[in-house]
Structure 1
Amino acid sequence: MSPALFASRQGPSCGPMLSDSPRSSVAAPFLPARPAIAGRIAHRGVGCPLMQRQGQRLAVATVEPSTASPEEAQRLKDLAMETGYLKIGREFPKGVTLSDIVKTLPEEVMKLDHGKAWRAVALTSAAVAGSMGLIAIAPWYLLPFAWFLAGTAATGMFVIGHDCGHRSFHENKVVEDVVGTVMMMPLIYPFEPWRIKHNAHHAHTNKLEEDTAWHPIRPGQFEAAPKTFQWALRLFLGSPLKCFTSIAHWAMWHFDINLYTEKQRPRVLISWAAVAAFVAFGFPAIIANLGLGGFVKFWLVPWLGYHFWMSTFTVVHHTAPHIPFKDAKDWNAAESQLAGSVHCNYPGWVDTLTHDIAWHVPHHVCAKIPWYNLRAATESLRENWGEYMTECNFNWKMMKTIFTELHIYDKEKNYIPMDHAKPEKFFTAQRKILPDSV
């Protein structure tokens, strides 16, 4: 569908508005929203652009369709093959707003289905219980498989809490708060602090200095860091250990009361009390019955498996050789949410246990879409905006690119490796050892 064809179409209502203006970015949830923004980032979380009020027509900029030149098409194809992607999105057109994109989505993808939501809770509960049973009976050589399964099932708990935080799980907000808190408690993830900070990520996706989810290192920051810290950055951001760095994000962003306003703090404290209760009662119970080794076996290793997926999903969704991070003055919501997020295909069993969290592009276009409608929403976006989307299969070549090349964000060159000035043995060895196979 040409963008010119939907200029008068009324789209689905998705919740509070994200600004489409490059210079008028939406305030983070812990800051007062600007008066010019139609719709505020309210307590119910960041949603999507408001379409139009009943009986009124919203003017939409008409964007003429264009076709990439053969040279540009070949360049994008070569880049995709070189870095492990199926398809690299072409340059995003000027004049397209997030509202334009949302209006092409079918109304049905916004509808909540309580039956599907509760079935997800049942599936995840069964998967977690089953994986614990598998850990209990597995011989030592099958434990890695059982742990990986348990970590993936635990990720499903987070995804349910994630939908609750976006108010796309249930029509009753109290139900969402309770379910979100309970699902995230065993992960020691406080629901309300996470919800607030995650909303900031949606409001500022791929915006330099303001995106709270996956922020790139800048050249000056790396060079000014002490040598020991530079080596820590090399180790954790320039190797496969990058797939566990969400642990640092979890610790830094969710347990500091000074990061929250006076109004937010009572709910933050309730979430802290919930995870503290799990630590105070759950951990001793596990250790008393299973010993310290049982604690490691049944909780710690699956928890690390959860963080593997938490880190991997996030870095793959928001890191690619051609996807820019921009200053607030140049930032555009439509470009960042559609073209700045990567669709990655994972094995079906991973999608099942993690409730399609990898079908991530429509979630950034409209966070109100429940997980079970993300596939239909993705197909709609492919039909209408597919030429601007980046897609990949989860593969070693792509991950090798992320581990060994996409380190420091330079405004002129996009990503450059930490050893761009002079090759370093640490990275040279990884480039030789890590597989290139797709």
Structure 2
Amino acid sequence: MSGPNHRSPSPDPPAGGSNLTDLATDAPTSPTTPSPTRPTNLKPVIDAIPDECYERPTSRGLFYFARDLVVYALVIWGLVSTNRIYLLIPLWILSGLVVSALFVVGHDAAHQSLFRHRWLNGLVGRVAMLPSFHVFEAWVLGHNRIHHGHTLKRGFDFVWQPLTPEEYSELGPIARLRHRLEWSRFGSGLYYLREVWWNKMIRFTPPRKWARAIRLDSLLVHSVGALAMAGTVLITWAVTGSLMSGLWLWIKVVVVPFLAFTQSIGWVVYVHHIAPDIHWWERREWNKFKGQVEGTTILHAPRGMDFFFHWIFEHAPHHVDMRIPMYHLKKAGQAMKMAFPDSVIEKKLRVRDYLRSVRSCKLYDYGSGRWLTYGDAAGSLRSEAAVPAT
């Protein structure tokens, strides 16, 4: 199948604030004068992507969904079957990865890129997101509309939005400690758990337009969570006569895999959007090309990682056009690199680059467009305070 007809319509997501209840239309930005090599919108980038990157046979999406479900079931069976710590630790790591795999399938379904049928995307997406306890419609709002609509725009994109030195200096001691923990090398899971899952998925009040759909999906997630807890605890208690055995089963097959998932996916989101060469923008300076092409990466992951993460490290083409299915992201990324070689950020996924980012990227100076360490920020504030008023 070829030609533009199978590129389903994809209207630009409406603007919104960093608070998910604020969905007022964003005023147009004032981009710089367009150039042939550095546009301000995404049309020339999308035009460079081959039509076959939009093909999405139902069988292929169902295959990845079914495969991940089978692996998830096997891992859960393994966790139920053993209490040996030398088996539990690798199984817990594997559980975080396979819950991430299901989550990426659900993420694609939420973008309507996995299947042609909206009802099938909705069904598969909701089921795939249950092990990670994500509210499907809340994810559609926060991720599709806000994060994708305003990637790296200050005051709008809430995902890993950095504080300025002035904002950090106004925090209390507990908030500063939390910031240092969340922006440390092991803090991405804590950040994702609090800022994305808890604040934007569980406890926020949905806007009126989205309230019914989000509350229904929230009821589904809460019900499954309650059943998972009650089932593991009560059935084990009834069989063994030990309440503690039931609580332990719930912790090892539900709680720990969920926490392993948050660490895994929190780190993935971090490496997609945070690096010394990735810039955040004030609203007046931002445009879609800066946010979606220059604001994320194409990372070449080690062999085997795509089994769990479904090519999502080829992240730039996903941000350029959410309609591209996960299994076509690599081909779409190659087309982007050929068309815009000076704008696409492409590199190997390496631990040393991640460690360099977590050392260098703590706070952000929007005036100079650069990342700062805590020490840099403190020195900058001292210098400003030492300058006499004129």
Q: 1:414-429 maps to which residues of 2 (within 5 A)?
A: 414-420=370-376
1:51 corresponds to: none
Q: Say whether 1:253 aligns with 2:200.
A: yes
Equivalence for 2:302: 347
Which residue of 1 is the match for residue 171 of structure 2? Answer: 225
Q: Is the 8 A contact 1:208 1:328 kept in 2?
A: yes
Q: What letter is aligned with 2:112?
A: R
Q: Which runs of 5+ in 2 are unaligned?
A: 237-244, 380-390
Please say if 1:169 is aligned against 2:114: yes
Matched, 1:143 2:88: yes
Q: Which 4+ residue blocks in structure 1 deviate beyond 6 angstroms?
A: 9-12, 34-37
The RMSD of aligned alpha carbons is 2.6
Instruction: Quote the offset at 1:142 in angstroms.
Output: 3.3
Q: For residues 365 and 421 of structure 1, do their structure 2 counterparts lie closer, same or farther at Cα, with a shift above 3 Å needed?
A: closer
Does residue 238 (structure 1) correspond to residue 201 (structure 2)? The answer is no
1:188-227 alignment, distance < 5 Å:
188-199=133-144, 200-227=146-173
* 1:90-131 CA distance string (max 9 Å, x none): xxx3x4531011000001111211111000111110111122
Deviation at 1:139, TM superposition (A): 3.5
Q: Is the 8 A contact 2:103 2:128 kept in 1?
A: yes
In structure 1, how many angstroms separate the alpha carbons of the residues matched to 2:27 and 2:378? Answer: 49
Moved more, 222-231 or 398-407: 398-407
SS at match of 1:222: helix
Q: Report the Cα offset of residue 299 of structure 1.
A: 1.5
Tell me the number of residue pairs that the alignment of Structure 1 and Structure 2 aligns: 357
- Secondary structure at 1:209's aligned position in 2? coil
Q: Using the alignment, how far apart are the partners of 2:50 and 2:377 within structure 1?
A: 49
Contact residue 359 and residue 378 of structure 1 kept, 8 A? yes
CA distance in structure 2 between the partners assigned to 1:376 and 1:335 by the alignment: 21
- Equivalent position amino acid for 1:360 in 2: H
Question: Which segment drifts farther, 102-111 or 169-178?
Answer: 169-178
Distance across 2 between alignment mates of 1:365 and 1:272: 29
1:168 positional shift: 0.8
In structure 2, how many angstroms separate the alpha carbons of the residues matched to 1:153 and 1:391?
26
CA distance in 2, matches of 1:266, 1:422: 46
The 1:15–1:325 alpha-carbon spacing in structure 2 relative to 1, beyond 3 Å, is farther
Write the distance in 2 (CA, Å) between the matches of 1:365 and 1:211. 16
C-alpha distance in 2 between matches for 1:98 and 1:357: 19
What SS does the aligned partner of 2:340 have?
Answer: helix
Contact 1:324-1:414 within 8 A present in 2 as well: yes
State the partner residue of 1:99.
Answer: 43
- Cα distance, 1:252 vs. partner? 0.4
Asked if the contact 1:12/1:105 (under 8 Å) is kept, the reply is: no
Instruction: Look up the match of 2:334.
Output: 379
Matches within 5 A, 1:9-408: 13=7, 15-18=9-12, 26-27=15-16, 31-33=23-25, 63=36, 93=38, 95-135=39-79, 136-137=81-82, 139-199=84-144, 200-248=146-194, 249-256=196-203, 258=205, 260-288=206-234, 289=236, 291-408=246-363
Whether the 8 Å CA contact 1:257–1:265 is kept in 2: the answer is: no
- Residue 133 of structure 1: CA displacement? 3.0
Instruction: Report the CA distance shift for 1:211/1:422 in structure 2 as closer, same or farther (over 3 A).
Output: closer
C-alpha distance in 2, partners of 1:388/1:12?
A: 28
- In structure 1, what residue type is equivalent to 2:159? A
Distance in structure 2 (CA, Å) of the matches to 1:257 and 1:184 = 18
Q: Judging changes above 3 Å, is the alpha-carbon distance between structure 1 residues 159 and 271 closer, same or farther for their aligned structure 2 residues?
A: same
| Aligned-pair CA distance for 1:389 | 1.8
User: Deviation of residue 347 (structure 1)?
Assistant: 2.8
Q: CA deviation at 1:152?
A: 0.4
CA contact (8 A) 1:244 1:304 kept: no
Give yes or no for contact 2:40–2:288 (8 Å, CA) kept in 1: no
Asked whether the equivalents of residues 96 and 257 of structure 2 are also in contact (C-alpha less than 8 Å), the reply is: yes
Contact 1:11–1:103 (Cα < 8 Å) also in 2: no
| Structure-2 separation of matches of 1:11 and 1:324 | 35
Q: Which moved more, 1:387-396 or 1:334-343?
A: 387-396
**CA shift digits 1:23-75 (9 cap, x unpaired):** xx8446862546989xxxxxxxxxxxxxxxxxxxxxxx7716xxxxxxxxxxx
Q: 1:343–1:301: structure 2 CA closer, same or farther, 3 Å change rule?
A: same
Offset of residue 413 of structure 1: 4.8
SS at match of 2:298: strand
Indicate the residue corresponding to 1:436 in structure 2.
Answer: none
- 3-state DSSP of counterpart to 1:356: coil
**Amino acid aligned to 1:129:** A
SS of corresponding position for 2:23: coil
Whether the 8 Å CA contact 2:228–2:254 is kept in 1: the answer is no
TM-score calculated relative to the size of structure 1: 0.76
**Partners of 1:198 and 1:421 in 2: CA distance:** 30
Matches of 1:115 and 1:12, distance apart in 2: 17
The TM-score normalised by the length of structure 2 is 0.84
Percent identical among aligned pairs is 22
Maintained 8 Å contact 2:165/2:378:
no
